[in-house]
Amino acid sequence: MTTTISPSSTLEEGTCPPPARLALKPAGADRGLLDGAWWPRSRDLARELPALTDVLDHRWARITRITVNPTYWPVIPRKIPVTGHVVHVGWFAAEQDPHKLLLLSYAVGRWDLLVIPPESSEDAAARLMSAATDPRNHRTASALIAGEKLLGTREASSS
C-alpha cells in the first residue's frame, strides 16, 4: 500500500503541486469494488488530476480517460492537460457512485478509486484509505463514506 498524507497548503505561482494523496491495493490483491483511495486537496479537477496521473501513469499505464459523478465536482472540464498528454473527462450522474473516480487506460484497463472528501480530517482519511485498500473490503465507495460519517458523529457526541 502506498499512502501519502499531508496537510493542505496553498500553492504559490510557479511552484509544483504537492504529490497526490493516494493509497492503492497491494499488487495481486483481489480487485473487489475499489482499487484504492484518493484524497484530493480541493474539488478542482483541473488542479488535482495532474498530480494523480503523474503517479498512476508510472505505476499502471498512461491514464487516458476518467469519469466522475458531478454531485461533488462543481466544474467538470472535458479535457485536462497532464504531464505528456491530455486526459479526457466524462461524467455519469445516475450510473456512477458519487464518491468514486473511474480511471481508464488503453494499455491495462480500468481502476476504481474512492474519492475522500477534501475537507476530511487526517484521521478520517487514513481510516478510509485503509478500508479502501483492504483486499477483504467489499463495500461501495458511498458505503465507506457513510460509515466514516457515522463514526465521526459518534466520536463528536462522546466528546
Q: What is the pLDDT of residues 109-142, one digit of tens each?
A: 899 999 999 999 999 999 999 999 999 999 999 9
Residue 126 located in a structural domain? yes
- Report if residue 20 sits inside a domain: no
Distance of CA 31 to the CA centre of its chain: 16
How far is Cα 83 from Cα 118, in angstroms, rounded to an integer? 23
80-103 mean pLDDT: 95
How many domains is the chain partitioned into structurally?
1
Is pLDDT at 68 greater than 80 in this prediction?
A: yes
Question: Residue 60: inside a domain, yes or no?
Answer: yes
Whether 46 shows a pLDDT value over 50: the answer reads yes
How far, in Å, CA of 50 to CA of 146, rounded?
28
C-alpha cell at 158: 462522546
State the residue range of the domain holding 63.
25-150
For 73-89, write each residue's pLDDT tens digit: 999 999 999 999 999 99
Nearest to 64 by CA among 17, 114, 108: 108
Statement: residue 65 has pLDDT above 70: yes
